[in-house]
Amino acid sequence: MPVSAVAADSSVCAPLAVLGRDVLVPLVTGGEVDYAALDYAASAPALQRVWDDVAGYAPYYGSVHRGAGYLSQLSTDLFENARTTIGDFLGCRPDDQVVFTRSTTDSLNLLAAVLPPHTRVFVFETEHHASLLPWEQCPGAEVTYLNAPRTPQQAVDTLETALAEREPHGPALVCVTGASNVTGELWPVRELAAAAHAHGARIVLDAAQLAPHHPVDIAELDVDWIAFSGHKLYAPFGSGVLAGRADWLRDAEPYLAGGGASRKVARRTDGGVDVEWHTSAARHEAGSPNVIGAYAIASACQALTEAGFDTLVAREQELIARVTAGLAEVPEVRVLSLFGDDAPRVGVLSFVVDGWNSSHFAAALSAEYGIGVRDGLFCAHPLVRTLLGGEPDEPGECGAPEAAPGERSLNAIRVSFGAGTPDEHIDRFVRAVKELVTDGARWNYRTEEGRCVPDATR
């Protein structure tokens, strides 16, 4: 959508400049307003710095690891330097590998594919589907789903008990989020890692929602692997990372078979082929890699490091306090939480409004105020059902409303923000919630193809 004008002060107080900060969107009530992107938990806007870096590299793009030409050599260096930059950003240990993937989902499916035979996997039902679902796809793996804890200590105790009771004592893996994509609450990662290792298990951290908001150090947290997505870390282009211990990755068959993963291929006398696979990260990076995506993630890592997480975290906590205080002034609003209202969180909050279908409310925020939020079950159906008191077998489709506007349905509203969010967007959101609850929507809405949209006929 072309930008029709520039909102001169739209980036005031935002520590980092992001794309889209000057985009104007139409309101159904008339006029235009700069778009308030408050759906960072789904995809954060790309940093201007990242976009500029990618644009500067684009004319020099070339194939990597295969070409003798100057641009291929340059691109290969850039690709491998990106791997080093990301490893430094994550505090990787000397023997850790950084594997480029398509996303957090792809990273965790890769790890599921390399599990040793008969691995026991322990995962809380509160996980995003990306970290909840891949494990049963691995032949021979046995998955134990742990009930939603109501305190951080209960999470540790639940895991301790489950690990102590496992039989036989073979390979085991724990998968846990760093910050919930529904509530934004921080999980006790270091304590869970200690519990896992005390019982001979390994642990993978889903850092998709944590890495954009907090420093993530694989050695300090003492986790075995970290997975995250570029598109949540202010980088576009569909890239992700799996970083951590090399042994399971090195010992398994390649995630994908093809060029790049193979070191040597030779015909056998019986007509077949013998393949020698790489033992480095390339083993699971078959095919031509997403060089631009890897470079974009590295650029975002550098930008966040240079901005300083102490500064970014302090400012984000101020925004969280403004949102929670504003919502607390509206009795009809209930903020969802596992660990309690005072639990530490990143800039992600979900809530429901008495008397409103969540999709209707989100549609009104967009159409009447130019605010983009998320509604639905957030690809974390078991968790949202637990928080809303729904039955485990109730139907639900990720991100889609389940009832007509005004009817109760099992969905919620999520607001999320970060380093590119200006103060005005937060203030507009809080004001909009109060006005909608007090005065109601100023427009009529209807359901169209599973979405609540403004009614053109009013």
* CB atoms near residue 289 (< 10 Å): 18
Helix-, strand-, coil-residue percentages of the chain, each rounded to 5: 35, 20, 45
| Tokens encoding 305 | 């490091």
Distance CA 90, CA 361 (A): 38
Is 13 in the active site? Answer: no
Q: Spell out the residues 6+ positions from residue 72 whose beta carbon is closer than 8 angstroms to its own.
A: 62, 63, 64, 66
H/E run at residue 204: strand 202-206
**Residue recorded with tokens 């934004």:** 184
Residue tagged active-site, from 138, 301, 379, 452: 379
| Tokens encoding 241 | 């990372």
Distance CA 412, CA 31 (A): 28
Total residues belonging to the chain: 458
Q: Spell out the residues 6+ positions from residue 373 whose beta carbon is closer than 8 angstroms to its own.
A: 38, 39, 362, 365, 366, 413, 414, 415, 416, 429
Q: Spell out the residues 6+ positions from residue 392 whose beta carbon is closer than 8 angstroms to its own.
A: 382, 385
| 222 touches 202 (CB < 8 A) | no
| Tokens encoding 320 | 């969280």
Q: Is 380 helix (H, G, I), strand (E, B) or coil?
A: coil
Distance CA 333, CA 450 (A): 24
Distance CA 294, CA 258 (A): 20
Catalytic residues: 379
